[in-house]
Amino acid sequence: MIARTGRITRRTLLSLALGVAAACRSRASPTQTPSLPSPTSSLGPGPTVTAEPRPTLTSTSAAPTPVPTATPAPTPSQTATPTPAPTLTPHPLAAYTIEGLRGRTYPGGQIEITRTVAETEAYTYYHIQYPSDGLRITGGLHVPHGDGPFPVVILCHGYIPPDQYWTGADTIQAADALARRDFLCVAPDFRGWGGSDPGPNYFRTGIVIDTLNLVSSLPSLPQADAARVGLWGHSMGGGLVAKAICIDDRIRAAVLYAPVSGWDLDNIRKWGDGARPDDPFGPIYAEAAQNEQFLRATSPLFHFHFVACPVQIHIGTADTVTPPEWSRAIRDSLELAGKEVEYFEYPGEGHAFSPPAWSIFIERIAAFYERTLRSA
């Protein structure tokens, strides 16, 4: 048994030796290399592993084109596109706000006497015309006898249906009284009244423009002292005067006699907006007339800080056309703005004063103009 085991062992060892030799010859052959690829060949060159990924994580500051979130250079889209721009577009009716009227000019022109109407022992009464924004505006003129120049009072009439109006309606009594006290008095008919041309009158600003163009025209009258000008207005004319003194500081004194409201919304609610169907701005005007924010811009009640002259207000306690509350609101707003204001109520009087109250009214306004126009 031992001998057999040894023979098997020698035979087995011989077979193993021959197998190893054959294997060694096979490993040495170069044609067999591709069948055993190198373990690193699938990873590619070294830099693709050790150099490429790390710089992208640790050296972004060295990149030639930084990411936009770092410190982007200013671009026109970031600095030249202000969002408020659309709100700067002016409203089509912005020219008729208080600020709009303050920003324009009133060139006026030559006051021409077209007719001598009457002569009294105290004055001569004429009909006149003058230009206002390309319109012909007519009116009345009372010139005191004697040496001028005289202080001027411009009298602004209230609303009268145009087909019932005549030159001097609503103003001629006051003009007569003041002319007898040596005030030169001018009473414009305004656009659309008397012999005047019609024209736009949004928020009753057309008649304000006619008044201020008249102020600019006064130097063409040698008898007029154009540096001493007062305004007088009744009803609609009182509302006109309230606007005018917010616009033009050439006015030295103002009298409001039973004025309409200083808040345009009150007037529109009571009498309508006056928009005409044939007016190209009619729809825009009608819309603006219901816009309280826009109406604040057209209403004198919110602009009395611009007033540069003393104001006198007269109202009857029984006035149902322009209620006393409106005059009180004007008084209160003027006082709140720190302006000089005199206020008078006439018990039981309506929109037009009776003779006894009228006499008191005339004495008060005459004394007021003496103090503010002649003595100042």
| Phi, psi dihedral angles at 315 (to 5 degrees) | -150, 140
Domain assignment present for residue 11? The answer is: no
CATH number at residue 116: 3.40.50.1820
Q: Supply 223's token pair.
A: 């008898």
Q: What is the pTM of this model?
A: 0.77
Domain residue limits at 217: 111-263+299-374
240 by DSSP, 3-state: which? helix
Residue 48 pLDDT greater than 90, yes or no? no
Residue 67 pLDDT greater than 80, yes or no? no
Domain assignment present for residue 27? The answer is: no
SS3 content of the chain, % helix, strand, coil (to 5): 45, 20, 35
Count H helices and E strands in the chain, helices first.
13, 9
Domain assignment present for residue 128? The answer is: yes
Domain assignment present for residue 287? The answer is: no
Q: For residue range 171-180, what is the model confidence (pLDDT) as tens digits? A: 999 999 999 9
CA atoms within a 13 Å half-sphere pointing along the CA-CB vector of 201? 20
Among 260, 258, 229, which residue's Cα sits nearest to residue 243?
A: 260
Percent share of the chain, pLDDT over 70: 76
Q: How many domains does the chain have?
A: 1
Strands 150-156 and 184-188: parallel
Distance CA(4)–CA(9), nearest Å, equals: 8
**Residue-level pLDDT at 375:** 85
Packing angle, helices 236-247 and 205-217, rounded to 10: 60
Q: For residue range 246-267, what is the model confidence (pLDDT) as tens digits? A: 999 999 999 999 999 999 999 9
Q: Supply 104's token pair.
A: 């324009």
Domain assignment present for residue 31? The answer is: no
Specify the amino acid at residue 42.
S
Domain assignment present for residue 89? The answer is: no
| Phi, psi dihedral angles at 165 (to 5 degrees) | -85, 145
Q: For residue range 177-212, what is the model confidence (pLDDT) as tens digits? A: 999 999 999 999 999 999 999 999 999 999 999 999
Domain assignment present for residue 56? The answer is: no
Domain assignment present for residue 116? The answer is: yes
